[in-house]
Structure 1
């Protein structure tokens, strides 16, 4: 398991106290969309790396000031604006360039067992086009704990300074764009330095320094001070051989499938016969939950002749639901109903209802409801048996109940009844797939707020659970995954865009494809022609309409 307390981008995701999460999170600045002079937008994230995390944790950080420092030493300060999954500043004038962005923030006193410490954060970032001046903009006056990058070719020397002087044995954590091979935990040498090679992409680098110093902050006593400083480096090789690739991105191949009518995430989808069915889901801005933010559509697309979407009768608008094909029918299982209007107090309930859509009759048929309401779960058929795994029960603001049981229904029975099977986990925002006679359950987030990369396998033949190889990559890859088995091969699609195939012989996952648009809370399904497609979901820029063909190696 790879613990990290993370975010929820689509459906009322983490419900933890901020003070208990703080030290597992760090402040990061990430410049975006470069133009002529400075970064057009600089985003602030609070997580393990410079990428979206739980936006609710940003609410107590809105008063932070972000500064921009030019090579001539001029400082300009900006207030933060709230975005979908980050706070951000918009420097003026807009554009590209040769400046550093930073902040410092006293978070407060944190208790861990018998220890109380004051937590201080520092963050610094450069736009990609400023990499020639990374080490020329001194921020030692603004950042007591500072990471200074000195670039030479593809190698960078990370100089860690404390109050302007080299800090030996400083703890460093480097998370690279190829996180499975480029994540490094190290310590600086006697000169406060650490060297590493870079490849194209964004690097999230942090340093830690602890002062054994007692004091008091806002009436709370502490016995030490923990300083965390982060550095975000968007690196692009400027060598002659890579210059073209560094300055131009390869356009994604145009999909033969029409876009979804709405940009959606956390929806239900299934392929039955020649048709892709898509049911409701979350629309609008992430983290905003109201009846208006639920799609009012149930639709299907003919995969053999994908000319346009056909509208079908919708029952209840939902998000966080699951769908599963069986024969010519598709089953809708559970889901989250949201009945409040915008800006009203949330009214969100996980439903126990299960219904079957008959394409022949174009009607919904009632199936026995699950024992309890369930959302943020997954479901899959293995033979005639419908398995529903993971999830929780939300109940109008009352503490959510994390599901301890997988439930199973024999759809072929004359009077089908649900049967409960104990799960060796409590997780939601996970994925499930039927593969070679077993149920594979992948990733998710647990009741303690940790994102899991674990793979749990249930054998109906023996009634036992076992473990599979963990999902590879960064922490976020365990959250909002989607999986499918085709041609005796099991695939999982994760947030960083990677599509992995299970190598059962060697008990590991191997990367076989990358999505042009990384996404999560999407669906990976067969394309009707022996391949796979990635449908909708959420990305850094918001919800998606696109359906992307997965190119398998």
Structure 2
């Protein structure tokens, strides 16, 4: 079945398939406090909490943008502090947008008002009615928790919404890129990949994806072993949608060391508009070890909105199914951060978070968030 972008969302129904859990993490998904604002099509990143804001300390989960019944594009920014189990509203995005990508990386050098680690809001949709490619934006903005300030940065070369982003070492031997880079992956039914270097304040176009991917997930993890052309740390593009194969379960990895994309094993489930994150692999799950790439929720035309979760271990080159979300959701956002500390036994644990999204169409934007404990010992 070939479906255009304009028809992609309306075919969903609020029916949910129940999927058997094949593997076990330390705990199942646990509810955390709700965001103030419901949203689907939002983005997230993890960075130090802003200074001098009551209720926030340590490391924060940032979520921003999206849409809901009140607005087709949101400028809302909220931060959650696992150390205090509290959400706070922060200065809004300068550009309201739906379906942007988010990442954290060093702040750009020599940009007044930004210092330390920044949260990046990349691309998205700015128009009144989605989908309309004329309103896909190339705008990029960065927030500095150290100064509690947003600033506009150089734009993407390719305007797009429904893209993914992650942070990794810059590719070697690409003029204008050095140090740590922010990667913008896919979106707008395209294969475009770009990297931004905070050290040089420039975007550069990289080799494209092997497969066009709209609404994929992105993450950074070690490259799989024994895959020719991949070494070091890799950028992963997971799932998504295109006009050739519809919803995808395929995955590809890019090695900055070799400047190449290569196919890696596919997920067991077709997923688009999913959450993606990298974190330590769950302990005591056969077939997973080291660092993992997580694929969280999403939807497809077989199972509708998904509660299922999978993890991929580059060390073993295998995917495994993990405990399901409490709430099926697509157009969610995921990131990795310390677990909530309301439970003293979790003070040093690492969690993968699933934030916002919708369980059905027409959209029912969610405030809710969930966390899955993936590491007992707080390995980074």
**Are the counterparts in 1 of residues 157 and 203 from structure 2 also a CA contact under 8 Å?**
no
Which consecutive aligned stretches of 4+ in structure 1 deviate over 6 angstroms post-superposition?
none
Residue 271 of structure 1 and its aligned partner are, at CA, apart by 1.1
Residue 552 of structure 1 and its aligned partner are, at CA, apart by 4.2
Query: Does 1:480 pair with 2:273?
Result: yes
Query: Does 1:489 pair with 2:268?
Result: no
The 3 A distance-change label for structure 1 pair 86 and 307 is closer
Structure 1 match to 2:5: 14
The 3 A distance-change label for structure 1 pair 180 and 353 is same
The 3 A distance-change label for structure 1 pair 348 and 425 is same
Number of residue equivalences: 301
Structure 2 match to 1:66: none
Using the TM superposition, name which of 503-512 and 425-434 deviates more: 503-512
CA distance in 2, matches of 1:87, 1:417: 40
Rg (Cα) greater in structure: 1
**Residue 354 of structure 2: which of 534, 537, 543 is its match?**
534
Which string of whole-angstrom CA distances, capped at 9 and with x for unpartnered residues, describes residues 423-476 of structure 1?
211111111101111011011100346111110111111122211111113xxx
Query: Does 1:279 pair with 2:43?
Result: no
Which string of whole-angstrom CA distances, capped at 9 and with x for unpartnered residues, describes residues 20-65 of structure 1?
xxxxxxxxxxxxxxxxxxxxxxxxxxxxxxxxx742x6xxxxxxxx
Structure 1 match to 2:228: none
**Are the counterparts in 2 of residues 313 and 363 from structure 1 also a CA contact under 8 Å?**
no
Structure 1 match to 2:111: none
Q: Secondary structure at the match of 2:34?
A: coil
**Residue 143 of structure 2: which of 357, 364, 372 is its match?**
357
Which consecutive residues of structure 2, in runs of 5 or more, have no partner in the other structure? 23-27, 49-58, 107-116, 170-179, 223-232, 281-290, 299-305, 340-349, 376-380
The 3 A distance-change label for structure 1 pair 457 and 347 is closer
The 3 A distance-change label for structure 1 pair 518 and 526 is same
Structure 1 match to 2:334: 524
Structure 2 match to 1:49: none
Residue 260 of structure 1 and its aligned partner are, at CA, apart by 1.1
Residue 262 of structure 1 and its aligned partner are, at CA, apart by 2.0
The 3 A distance-change label for structure 1 pair 310 and 382 is same
Structure having greater relative contact order (Cα 8 Å, sep ≥ 6): 2
CA distance in 1, matches of 2:148, 2:181: 23
Residue 517 of structure 1 and its aligned partner are, at CA, apart by 0.8
The 3 A distance-change label for structure 1 pair 452 and 307 is closer
Which consecutive residues of structure 1, in runs of 5 or more, have no partner in the other structure? 7-12, 17-52, 58-84, 89-174, 182-251, 285-290, 393-401
**Residue 167 of structure 2: which of 378, 381, 402 is its match?**
381
Q: Secondary structure at the match of 2:71?
A: helix
CA distance in 2, matches of 1:372, 1:336: 13
**Residue 334 of structure 1: which of 120, 123, 128 is its match?**
123
Which string of whole-angstrom CA distances, capped at 9 and with x for unpartnered residues, describes residues 321-340 of structure 1?
01101142111111100236
Q: Secondary structure at the match of 1:305?
A: coil
**Residue 265 of structure 1: which of 32, 40, 45 is its match?**
40
**Residue 251 of structure 2: which of 455, 472, 483 is its match?**
455
Structure 1 match to 2:92: 313
Which string of whole-angstrom CA distances, capped at 9 and with x for unpartnered residues, describes residues 291-331 of structure 1?
83323412222221123323323311111101101142111
Structure 1 match to 2:317: 507
**Residue 471 of structure 1: which of 259, 267, 273 is its match?**
267
The 3 A distance-change label for structure 1 pair 439 and 310 is same
Which string of whole-angstrom CA distances, capped at 9 and with x for unpartnered residues, describes residues 354-373 of structure 1?
11111122222222111121
CA distance in 2, matches of 1:259, 1:176: 25
CA distance in 2, matches of 1:377, 1:262: 22
CA distance in 2, matches of 1:54, 1:310: 29
Residue 503 of structure 1 and its aligned partner are, at CA, apart by 3.4
Q: Secondary structure at the match of 1:527?
A: strand
TM-score (ref. length: structure 1): 0.50
Which string of whole-angstrom CA distances, capped at 9 and with x for unpartnered residues, describes residues 240-269 of structure 1?
xxxxxxxxxxxx9863x3211122111121
Aligned-residue RMSD, C-alpha: 3.0
**Are the counterparts in 2 of residues 280 and 294 from structure 1 also a CA contact under 8 Å?**
yes
CA distance in 2, matches of 1:490, 1:267: 20
**Are the counterparts in 2 of residues 534 and 547 from structure 1 also a CA contact under 8 Å?**
yes
Query: Does 1:324 pair with 2:103?
Result: yes
Q: Secondary structure at the match of 1:262?
A: coil
CA distance in 2, matches of 1:275, 1:420: 31
Which string of whole-angstrom CA distances, capped at 9 and with x for unpartnered residues, describes residues 258-291 of structure 1?
211122111121110211211120112xxxxxx8
Q: Secondary structure at the match of 2:86?
A: coil
**Are the counterparts in 1 of residues 60 and 81 from structure 2 also a CA contact under 8 Å?**
yes
